[in-house]
């Protein structure tokens, strides 16, 4: 039977064949499946018996690479997609990481007005930065194609955190894709409990862990990224955790490599920039080398003068070289100058044994500290380290000012529903002498503020009665402003009288490496730099920020520009940081040694007010009128803690004294006679109600209810049936106070004999009242 194809049917057939080719093995974007048609998957077994599962090839097959990482009931899918070609004139590698926590993945509905996920939260931004810093060092240096990683939460339980799973899934997705990436890497979370290292601890275990550290590593036990916080962890314990985490990451790397060999796609060819004419390179170096060496060896230069001198040489060299090579693009000459400048800067560090500002490798910059800057501030400090200057202020408020967390954020923070300590980091453009727009906090500022907050949080008491907001404004910046925020923040907290367990300080450690034949797998030589400048961060290979007290570490964050460093270098860097931290704390102690003991006039005060149950109505007032008046007139707020206690917060001691006067006026306390249980007293009726009569036993007593059931031996529906009137005095018996409500228990019928009969008039009255 002959088949006749129309033009429309042929187009439909071609479209279906194209879709089939995309999903079948060998398709343009499809990931190969195993021989039995199932999605390839592997299981990683860690030394503590816990497992992590990787799979690919079943979901999101249009992406360049897709991977699903699962541990327990938490599953994260990461897709990697790159454009076909780089944008013309692209001078950097535009990597975008989108990490979003989804309420649907944990069976929740968002609690905002729209009932849907809105903009990224702080936790999501910090997790995206964590993934970015783990992956970026392993991209080819000439790769300039725009790449996007999307982390999709498929399911979330209350046991395992998804951020580490997202790093591993991204590593597998890039490894299986055709994107040129020199992975894979493995990432594990490391905890520490009673001296025992925990690999990928659960959320419950993290609540009692002294350490929460994420270690990203590549082959040959090379560390790529470190980020963590600790409750004053000793140096030897931190080193043990890093070693163990690096070893455990090798299991993940081994399994991803197996999948990559079996199912990975061939990597793209990187479009390497056209080689510069050797004569051009020689001309640029010969014209700038002597002048750059002179600039980089002149220790009298500061940040601005050094930058201006280098810019002047750059402009002069570009003009002269371009006149000799008129067919060359000025941008290529600029790039060649920048590479030459970086090479000369690094060579001088190895040759001289000194840095550009005249310091040796371990020397700190000049440090000065000052506290108690302005009287209205609860606490303030100015910390200056070289040309990095940070102004920190502390504001104390009531516990009602704590930042409330939504359900997902509370779940990820171990069940914490409110934060009573916040550190806000600000980096205005004038800090670097630039003109820029001041607006919402950026991702960089959010990351630096979170790092400084993690560094100081372990030193704060858990039962502090105030909410603490610490602001850190960078006034000048020439390297390590986040660690300066730790030092200045610790000084400001002590100036505010916050009872910190110990002062904390932070320092940034840099690294300059030299490889054999530019092969990053064979490290030939290196120099570790303590307290790096901005130019040393830009020209160097590592920025390791370390913070803590004299006893141990509270936070660490290591960012690398090379694909991994040996554990030996990590250990030496931590030792340098420990020595520098102790020296910084010695200098800080000259300004203030411990939290201020004598209160300032501007300090807020907090007290606990005990109120008898029968007096709550007097304190609160009708519709809360009394409490509102106290707040409006004195700024003092009252918060109910339980049935008999109120937390009173006042912005100053004078406001507290004024509020106490108002409270005493509302709660008039007259002498209350001692009432004897079972005693008989004369009560005066003040009001008739449907349920009974209101009576008082003494003049200053608030009226108490004598219920209808306790008025007479006979059953009555209204007090008027007994001809009771307001102002009438009756005999009652006192049976103490109710243990729940605190109200008096009174009875009149127990003083009467048994009911012998009911008069007809009473029967008639009861019938008319509906009984």
pLDDT of residue 13: 44
Residue 408 pLDDT grade (very low, low, confident, very high; cuts 50, 70, 90): low
Residue 756 pLDDT grade (very low, low, confident, very high; cuts 50, 70, 90): very low
pLDDT, one tens digit per residue, over 184-207 is 999 999 999 988 999 999 999 998
Average pLDDT score over residue span 398-421: 72
The CATH number of 605-666 is which of 3.40.50.300, 3.10.580.10, 3.30.1370.10, 1.10.8.50? 3.30.1370.10
Q: Is the peptide bond before 477 cis (omega within 30 degrees of 0)?
A: no
CB 49 within 8 A of CB 164: no
pLDDT of residue 279: 86
Domain boundaries for CATH 3.30.230.70 within the chain: 26-108+118-263, 367-434+446-589
pLDDT, one tens digit per residue, over 59-111 is 999 999 999 999 999 999 999 999 988 888 777 888 999 999 888 888 888 87
- pLDDT over 70, % of the chain: 90
The answer to whether residue 128 scores a pLDDT higher than 70 is yes
Rg over CA atoms, the chain: 36
Domain boundaries for CATH 1.10.10.400 within the chain: 278-352
The answer to whether residue 114 scores a pLDDT higher than 70 is yes
pLDDT, one tens digit per residue, over 292-320 is 999 999 999 999 999 999 999 999 999 98
H or E element in which residue 475 lies: strand 467-476
pLDDT of residue 99: 94
pLDDT of residue 764: 37
pLDDT, one tens digit per residue, over 555-580 is 999 999 999 999 999 999 999 999 99
Question: Looking at 46-126, which runs of residues are DSSP E strands?
Answer: 51-55, 65-71, 74-82, 95-100
Residue 16 pLDDT grade (very low, low, confident, very high; cuts 50, 70, 90): very low
Per-position DSSP letters for 400-445, written without gaps between them: GGSEE--HHHHHHTTS--EESEEEEEE--GGGGT------S--HHH
CB 468 within 8 A of CB 422: yes
Q: What architecture is the 367-434+446-589 domain classified under in CATH?
A: 2-Layer Sandwich (3.30)
pLDDT of residue 80: 96
Which residue would you say has higher pLDDT here, 316 or 274? 316
Residue 535 pLDDT grade (very low, low, confident, very high; cuts 50, 70, 90): very high
pLDDT of residue 25: 35
Q: What architecture is the 278-352 domain classified under in CATH?
A: Orthogonal Bundle (1.10)
pLDDT of residue 671: 59
Q: What architecture is the 26-108+118-263 domain classified under in CATH?
A: 2-Layer Sandwich (3.30)
pTM of the model: 0.80
Average pLDDT score over residue span 381-405: 91
Question: Tokens 């840099």 label which residue?
Answer: 510
pLDDT, one tens digit per residue, over 465-516 is 899 999 999 999 998 899 999 999 999 999 999 999 999 999 999 999 998 8
Which residue would you say has higher pLDDT here, 3 or 593? 593
pLDDT of residue 187: 96
From residue 284, alpha-carbon distances to 321, 336, 337 in Å are 7, 7, 6
Q: Which of 241-255, 310-324, 386-400, 740-754 has the lowest mean pLDDT?
A: 740-754
pLDDT of residue 361: 94
Q: What angle do CA 750, 751, 753 make, to 5 degrees?
A: 85
pLDDT of residue 27: 34
**Among 29-33, 188-192, 264-268, 650-654, the range of highest mean pLDDT:** 188-192
Average pLDDT score over residue span 329-342: 89
Token pair recorded at residue 474: 């960078």
The CATH number of 680-768 is which of 2.40.50.140, 3.90.480.20, 3.40.50.300, 3.40.50.620? 2.40.50.140
pLDDT of residue 414: 58
* Average pLDDT of every residue of the chain: 87
Question: Rounded distance, CA 530 to CA 544, Å?
Answer: 10
């Amino acid at each position: 039977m002959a088949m006749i194809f129309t033009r429309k049917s042929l187009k439909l057939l071609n479209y279906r064949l194209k879709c089939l080719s995309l999903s079948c093995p060998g398709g343009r974007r499809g990931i190969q499946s195993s021989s039995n048609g199932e999605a390839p998957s592997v299981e990683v077994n860690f030394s503590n018996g816990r497992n992590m599962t990787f799979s690919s090839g079943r979901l999101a097959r249009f992406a360049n690479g897709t991977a699903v990482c699962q541990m327990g009931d938490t599953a994260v899918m990461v897709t990697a997609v790159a454009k076909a070609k780089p944008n013309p004139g692209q001078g950097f590698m535009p990597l975008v990481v989108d990490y979003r926590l989804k309420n649907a993945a944990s069976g929740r509905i968002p609690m905002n007005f729209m009932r849907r996920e809105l903009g990224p939260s702080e936790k999501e931004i910090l997790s995206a930065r964590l993934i970015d810093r783990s992956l970026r060092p392993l991209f080819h240096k000439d790769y300039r194609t725009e790449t996007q990683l999307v982390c999709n939460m498929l399911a979330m339980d209350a046991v395992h955190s998804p951020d580490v799973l997202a790093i591993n899934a991204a590593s597998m997705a890039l490894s299986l894709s055709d994107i040129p990436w020199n992975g894979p890497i493995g990432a594990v979370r490391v905890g520490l409990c009673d001296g025992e290292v925990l690999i990928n601890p659960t959320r419950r275990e993290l609540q009692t862990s002294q350490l929460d550290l994420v270690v990203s590593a590549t082959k040959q036990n090379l560390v790529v990224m470190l980020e963590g916080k600790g409750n004053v962890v000793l140096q030897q314990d931190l080193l043990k955790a890093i070693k163990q985490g690096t070893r455990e990451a090798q299991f993940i790397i081994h399994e991803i490599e197996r999948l990559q060999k079996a199912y990975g796609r061939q990597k793209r060819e990187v479009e390497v920039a056209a080689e510069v004419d050797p004569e051009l390179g020689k001309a640029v170096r010969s014209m700038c080398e002597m002048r750059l060496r002179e600039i980089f060896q002149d220790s009298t230069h500061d940040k601005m003068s050094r930058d201006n001198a280098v810019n002047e040489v750059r402009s002069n060299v570009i003009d002269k070289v371009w006149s000799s090579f008129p067919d060359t693009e000025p941008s290529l000459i600029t790039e060649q100058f920048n590479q030459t400048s970086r090479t000369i800067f690094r060579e001088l560090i190895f040759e001289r044994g000194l840095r550009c500002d005249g310091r040796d490798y371990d020397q700190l910059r000049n440090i000065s500290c000052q506290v108690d800057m302005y009287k209205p501030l609860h606490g303030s400090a100015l910390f200056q380290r070289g040309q990095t200057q940070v102004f920190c202020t502390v504001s104390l408020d009531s516990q009602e000012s704590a930042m409330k967390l939504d359900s997902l954020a509370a779940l990820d923070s171990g069940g914490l529903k409110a934060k009573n300590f916040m550190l806000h980091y600000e980096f205005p453009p004038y800090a670097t002498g630039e003109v820029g727009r001041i607006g919402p906090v950026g991702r960089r500022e959010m990351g630096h503020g979170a790092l400084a907050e993690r560094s100081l949080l372990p030193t704060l008491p858990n039962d502090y009665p105030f909410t603490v907001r610490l602001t850190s404004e960078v006034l000048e910046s020439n390297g390590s402003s986040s660690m300066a925020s730790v030092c200045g923040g610790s000084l400001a907290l002590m100036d505010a009288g916050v009872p910190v367990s110990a002062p904390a300080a932070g320092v940034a450690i840099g690294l300059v490496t030299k490889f054999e034949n530019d092969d990053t797998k064979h490290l030939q030589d290196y120099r570790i730099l303590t307290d790096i400048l901005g130019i040393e961060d830009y020209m160097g290979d590592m920025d390791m920020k370390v913070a803590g007290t004299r006893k141990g570490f509270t936070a660490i964050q290591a960012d690398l520009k090379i694909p991994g460093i040996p554990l030996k270098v990590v250990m030496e860097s931590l030792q340098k940081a420990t020595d520098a931290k102790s020296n910084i704390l010695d200098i800080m102690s000259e300004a203030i040694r411990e939290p201020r003991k004598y209160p300032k006039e501007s300090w807020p005060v907090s007290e606990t007010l005990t109120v008898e149950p029968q007096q709550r109505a007097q304190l609160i007032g009708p519709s809360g009128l009394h409490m509102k008046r106290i707040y409006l007139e004195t700024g003092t707020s009252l918060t109910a803690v339980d049935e008999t206690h109120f937390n009173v917060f006042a912005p100053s001691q004078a406001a507290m004294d004024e509020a106490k006067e108002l409270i005493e006026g509302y709660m008039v306390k007259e002498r209350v006679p001692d009432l004897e249980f079972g005693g008989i007293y004369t009560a005066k009726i003040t009001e008739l109600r449907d349920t009974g009569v209101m009576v008082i036993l003494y003049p200053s007593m608030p009226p108490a209810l004598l219920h209808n059931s306790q008025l007479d031996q006979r059953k009555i529906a209204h007090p008027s049936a007994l001809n009771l009137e307001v102002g009438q005095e009756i005999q009652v018996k006192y049976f103490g106070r109710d243990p729940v409500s605190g109200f008096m228990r009174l009875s009149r019928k127990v003083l009467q004999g048994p009911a012998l009969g009911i008069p007809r008039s009473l029967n008639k009255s009861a019938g008319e009242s509906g009984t």
